[in-house]
């Protein structure tokens, strides 16, 4: 088993506005999620300021991933929270210059632990572009299994991509 780097998941702070702005407005990431519009600094500032940090109120939790030196290396999300069925969607974004160093695996491991031990969720799922081999492998190694393939599920502005619905019972 690989040794994962030490990381910390923490709540968004006002100082994270630039990070959030960069991630939310990175058009390359729009292809792997459901967002496909740019966000203004004002909108993101308002989100940080008004977020209650309560998954029952916000239906999501957005966390910053920091390495052992306190440097921001990415973000981890739990979104589309369904309290009745105790499930939610997991997402990880690691900054380009920090990829392939184990931060994604460490963040996903901690996110799953948080979902189970703190949020008491029954399951997490992810919808991943079938061609994104690195993400599929990351989630598979974290205990997520492919449940189905969703044909033409993601649109990148030019063509449709198949997606995999991956699920992990906690």
Least confident of 5-9, 32-36, 160-164: 32-36
Judged against a pLDDT cut of 70, whether residue 145 lies above it is answered with yes
Judged against a pLDDT cut of 70, whether residue 30 lies above it is answered with no
Check residue 35 and give its pLDDT. Answer: 60
Percent of the chain with pLDDT over 70: 92
- 3-state DSSP call for residue 49? helix
- Residues 2 and 151: their CA atoms lie apart, in Å, by 33
Task: Kindly state the helix (H) or strand (E) to which residue 17 belongs, with its residue range.
Answer: helix 17-24
Q: What is the pLDDT confidence band of residue 17, given thresholds at 50, 70 and 90?
A: confident
Q: What is the pLDDT confidence band of residue 69, given thresholds at 50, 70 and 90?
A: very high
Task: Show the tokens assigned to 47.
Answer: 């989100």
User: What does pTM read for this prediction?
Assistant: 0.89
- Residues 69 and 116: their CA atoms lie apart, in Å, by 27
Dihedral in degrees, nearest 10, Cα atoms 110, 20, 135, 58: 60
Judged against a pLDDT cut of 70, whether residue 27 lies above it is answered with no
Cβ atoms of 122 and 86 closer than 8 Å: yes
pLDDT digits (tens, 9 = 90+) for 113-141: 999 999 999 999 999 999 999 999 999 99
Judged against a pLDDT cut of 70, whether residue 23 lies above it is answered with yes
């Amino acid at each position: 088993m690989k040794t994962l780097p030490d990381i910390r998941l923490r709540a968004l702070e006002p100082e994270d506005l630039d990070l959030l702005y960069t991630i939310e407005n990175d058009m390359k990431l729009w292809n792997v999620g459901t967002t496909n519009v740019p966000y203004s600094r004002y909108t993101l500032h308002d989100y940080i300021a008004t977020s209650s940090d309560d998954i029952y109120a916000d239906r999501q939790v957005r966390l910053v991933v920091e390495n052992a030196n306190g440097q921001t290396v990415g973000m981890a999300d739990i979104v589309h929270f369904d309290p009745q069925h105790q499930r939610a969607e997991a997402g990880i974004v690691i900054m380009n210059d920090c990829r392939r160093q184990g931060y994604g695996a460490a963040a996903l491991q901690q996110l799953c632990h948080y979902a189970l031990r703190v949020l008491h969720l029954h399951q997490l799922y992810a919808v991943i572009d079938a061609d994104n081999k690195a993400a599929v492998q990351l989630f598979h190694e974290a205990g997520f299994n492919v449940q189905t393939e969703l044909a033409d599920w993601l649109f990148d502005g030019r063509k449709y991509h198949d997606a995999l619905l991956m699920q992990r019972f906690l």
